Structure 1
Amino acid sequence: MAKFETERLVLRPVSPADHDALRTLVFDPQVVAYLRYRLLKTEADFEQAFTDHFLADATTVFALETKADHQFVGFYEFHVTETTGILTYALLQSAWGHGYVAEAGRALMGYAFNTLGLTHLEAHYAHLNPNSGRVMAKMGMREAGELHTKTLDNGQVVHVMKYVLDKGDWNRAQSQSA
């Protein structure tokens, strides 16, 4: 069970105490507009995801909690396929614009490369949400173009953009900042 601390955050496994705050996050259409969690439509859907995913995976799913007041503000996760981790994150709207995603992401990169043994990280974002792309750049990732285009249930066409980071590039950046 991994736990990390940054200047302002504690990244820890999701706990049963996070249930209500995570439910609020997942059922906020602005927060999950471009995430797979937008497909959770019912309480039963959420309960299953909470139990089978958020609580069950303490090595690749992390709650983000503020150090100052110990409040749940979001989550970060890796979807792992062989040697690649695809990053997904979401924050309560009240936590937007505070730099939490980049702060947590930088902390989790070392864990991904050194502990999970990943050699490649990706993060995807909808072109309609360019702030996510800027966050990925702040984490040291580089733009890798369009991954694909998809049409949402509401008919909106979304260009899914990709950022990447390889372990070698991360190691070089770490040695330069030391």
Structure 2
Amino acid sequence: MQFETERLLIRPIRASDHDALQAMILDPRVVAYLRYRTLETPAEFDDAFKTHFLADSTTTFGLERKRDHQLIGFYEFHVDAQTGELTYALSPAAWGHGYVAEAGQKMMTYGFENLGLTRIEAHYASVNPRSGRVMAKLGMRDEGELQTFTLPTGELIHVMAYALNKNEWLRVKSA
């Protein structure tokens, strides 16, 4: 399954995406606060690419810029029962262009209509408030701090949560 926005093609990850995705996942700036920060070597990435990114075309999508057909990021759902945790990342060159919010609208629709989710959550590190603003643009509501943890560098990270349930989404969509 794939979707289009004005500037993006949202599609399953392909084998040809390997190098672009590896550059993102192995870039500490991109994954500083994501679950993928533990992938540190090309071999570790190769395993995750095969077993996760290529393996699930229903919950993991590449973001391809239409104008030059470059993979600039990804969106994915981590599904538990009827709740999906939305995760996304972009290559640094694509930061600040509104791509995450643009793709996010399609991903919210997909999560509720195609995956049958009743709740979608997204989390971000408080040191990255731009991510929180994207979640608010998607109609999600701020649920406050989810947890706090310390990175190996000693940096204290406050994980903030946003969420939207299907009934709220239907109300916003019909308005």
TM-score normalised to the size of structure 2? 0.99
Q: Within 5 A, what are the aligned runs for 1:119-138?
A: 119-138=118-137
Match of 1:67 in 2: 66
Q: Within 5 A, what are the aligned runs for 1:2-151?
A: 2-151=1-150
For residue 21 of structure 1, give the secondary structure of its aligned residue in structure 2: helix
For residue 131 of structure 1, give the secondary structure of its aligned residue in structure 2: helix
Alignment: residue pair count: 175
Distance in 1 between the 2:95 and 2:29 partners?
Answer: 11
Residue identity (%): 62
Cα RMSD of the aligned pairs, angstroms, is 0.6
Distance in 1 between the 2:171 and 2:149 partners?
Answer: 35
Match of 2:157 in 1: 158
Q: Structure 2: which 5+ runs fail to align?
A: none
For residue 113 of structure 2, give the secondary structure of its aligned residue in structure 1: helix
For residue 31 of structure 1, give the secondary structure of its aligned residue in structure 2: helix
Residue 68 (structure 1) shift? 1.2
Give the conservation status (yes or no) of the 8 Å contact 2:144–2:161: yes
Residue 134 (structure 1) shift? 0.5
TM-score normalised to the size of structure 1? 0.97
Residue 173 (structure 1) shift? 0.7
Distance in 1 between the 2:109 and 2:137 partners?
Answer: 15
Distance in 2 between the 1:35 and 1:101 partners?
Answer: 15
Q: Which runs of 4+ in 1 moved over 6 A?
A: none
Letter paired with 1:111:
Y
Letter paired with 1:108:
M
Distance in 1 between the 2:28 and 2:114 partners?
Answer: 34
Distance in 1 between the 2:151 and 2:34 partners?
Answer: 11
For residue 79 of structure 2, give the secondary structure of its aligned residue in structure 1: strand
Residue 138 (structure 1) shift? 0.8
Give the conservation status (yes or no) of the 8 Å contact 2:64–2:71: yes
Residue 159 (structure 1) shift? 0.4
Q: Structure 1: which 5+ runs fail to align?
A: none
Letter paired with 1:16:
A
